[in-house]
């Protein structure tokens, strides 16, 4: 087998300046074949200019068509085996130090360069032998695996991947991100079964389950967030989504949402543990189609609760009337029983009542109480409640009133018989 050379290239355009010999023991300079460095270590200092799309200071270029491998086999473009067992120093399988030793000119004014410690670029142009329903091939831009064998005991921790960032005092920047997942320009197809920017899962053989899916903060460290834990930034287009958080397929043995003094389960919203003087408040600013800033229903055919214009109401399921209304001033009305109409206005024999809450319909058998603003002078006075139409006031089974049957400031007790308002407490018997 011929061992391919690993070569360093000049900045002026992909010409090898030096290479490792066939035994990977010495770095050899092409000009004269002189040995530059001893085994396992080599260095070089390169400079110049280039108009090439990419300049490889140290490159490995391989092409292979290896076949007849088992399903568990791999073909590695670059393989590093680093075995240790003694000593006290920390170890790195691969370490990259990318440092700018001086200010750089950057690129054109409307662009900016990207500087990456480790860059992985997969470009897949052909299928992997699968078909519709028998799809094959999973491609990973980056994959890390850390395993504790049975003998790895009393360890401090295991971390699949860690990304550390730090901006020292005096530096400045626009964007600071710990982890970024980007759907980039040529992304135009959705996954037919799974389509997610971030996926947290476990394989079929996993027996240990994590206590938390996502955690903010860690014992012995500082709290990392000073603003909003989960939120959105402005984008080029409208921020729109189908659901904010969807846990509909998850069975919760505890709470779906929980914070200090507040919890939401599948059957209960609980607010407790409030300190003295603190209030629990539910506010919905936008009224629904049928009115009401806050509406509660059983979702099928039960009664509803709603708050509308400072009035608490129990309404029927068809939204056709309030069964009970209670204002913040203490006024109330109950359909089919007693409704306070307030003080009548307009004229002595054509009174108008404008109760709050508004009466939506006359109900046969319903009682109404009104404070008269006048004394009647005729025998056929009327009262019009909430603009529902004037109703003649009578007494004792449609008997006409006598003049003075109600007087100013008198509390009138009325009952609607389906046609007229019957005065139950006339002054003249």
The predicted-structure confidence for 342-369, as pLDDT tens digits, reads as follows 999 999 999 999 987 788 889 888 889 9
Q: Is residue 283 part of a domain?
A: no
Cα–Cα distance measured from residue 270 to residue 256, given in angstroms and rounded to the nearest whole number: 12
Q: Is residue 321 part of a domain?
A: no
Cα–Cα distance measured from residue 137 to residue 160, given in angstroms and rounded to the nearest whole number: 23
The total number of residues shown for the chain amounts to 429
Q: Is residue 137 part of a domain?
A: no
Q: Is residue 395 part of a domain?
A: yes
Which of 62, 94, 115 is at the close of a domain? 62
Which of 62, 87, 110 is at the close of a domain? 62
| Residue 259 predicted with pLDDT over 50 | yes
Q: How many independent structural domains does the chain possess? A: 2
User: What range defines the domain where residue 8 resides?
Assistant: 1-62
Which of 62, 82, 101 is at the close of a domain? 62
Residue 106: HSE in the Cβ half-sphere, 13 Å Cα cutoff:
5
Least confident segment among 6-10, 217-221, 344-348, 374-378: 6-10
Q: Is residue 344 part of a domain?
A: yes
Q: Is residue 28 part of a domain?
A: yes
Please indicate whether residue 42 or residue 97 has the higher confidence score (pLDDT). 97
Model confidence band, residue 229 (pLDDT cutoffs 50, 70, 90): very high
| Residue 24 predicted with pLDDT over 60 | no
Contact between 269 and 280 under an 8 Å Cβ cutoff? The reply is no
Closest CA to 374 of 402, 341, 342, 346: 346
Least confident segment among 21-30, 116-125, 174-183, 186-195: 21-30
pLDDT value, residue 240 = 92
Separation of first and last alpha carbons in the chain: 125
Q: Is residue 346 part of a domain?
A: yes
Q: Is residue 408 part of a domain?
A: yes
């Amino acid at each position: 087998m011929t061992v391919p050379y690993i070569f360093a290239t000049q900045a002026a355009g992909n010409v090898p300046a030096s290479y490792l010999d066939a035994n990977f023991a010495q770095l050899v300079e092409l000009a004269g074949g002189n040995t530059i460095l001893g085994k396992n270590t080599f260095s070089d200092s390169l400079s110049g200019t280039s108009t090439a799309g990419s300049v490889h200071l140290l490159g490995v270029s391989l092409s292979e068509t290896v076949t007849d491998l088992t399903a568990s086999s791999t073909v590695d473009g670059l393989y590093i085996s680093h075995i240790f067992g003694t000593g006290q120093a920390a170890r790195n399988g691969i370490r990259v130090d990318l440092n700018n030793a001086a200010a750089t000119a950057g690129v054109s004014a409307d662009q900016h360069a990207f500087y990456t410690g480790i860059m992985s670029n997969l470009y897949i142009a052909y299928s992997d032998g699968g078909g519709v329903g028998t799809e094959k091939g999973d491609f990973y831009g980056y994959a890390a695996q850390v395993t504790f064998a049975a003998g790895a005991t009393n360890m401090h921790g295991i971390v699949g991947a860690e990304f550390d960032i730090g901006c020292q005092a005096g530096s400045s920047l626009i964007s600071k991100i710990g982890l970024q997942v980007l759907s980039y320009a040529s992304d135009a197809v959705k996954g037919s079964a799974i389509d997610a920017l971030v996926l947290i899962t476990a394989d079929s053989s996993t027996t240990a389950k994590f206590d938390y899916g996502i955690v903010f903060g860690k014992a012995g460290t500082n709290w990392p967030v000073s603003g909003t834990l989960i939120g959105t930034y402005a984008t080029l287009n409208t921020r729109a989504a189908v659901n904010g958080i969807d846990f509909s397929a998850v069975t919760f043995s505890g709470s779906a949402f929980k914070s200090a003094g507040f919890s939401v389960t599948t059957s209960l919203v609980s607010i407790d543990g409030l300190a003295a003087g603190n209030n629990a408040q539910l506010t919905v600013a936008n009224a629904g189609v049928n009115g009401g800033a806050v509406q509660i229903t059983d979702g099928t055919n039960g009664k509803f609760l709603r708050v509308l214009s400072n009035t608490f109401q129990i309404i029927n399921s068809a939204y056709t009337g309030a069964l009970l209304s209670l204002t913040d001033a203490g006024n109330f009305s109950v359909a089919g029983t007693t409704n306070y109409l307030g003080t009548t206005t307009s004229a002595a024999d054509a009174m108008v009542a404008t109760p709050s809450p508004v009466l939506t319909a006359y109900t046969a058998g319903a009682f109404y109480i009104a404070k008269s603003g006048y004394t009647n002078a005729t025998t056929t006075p009327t009262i019009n409640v909430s603009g529902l139409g004037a109703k003649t006031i009578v007494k004792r089974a449609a008997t006409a009133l006598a003049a003075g049957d109600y007087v100013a400031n008198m509390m009138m007790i009325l009952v609607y018989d389906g046609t007229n308002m019957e005065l139950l407490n006339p002054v003249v018997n």
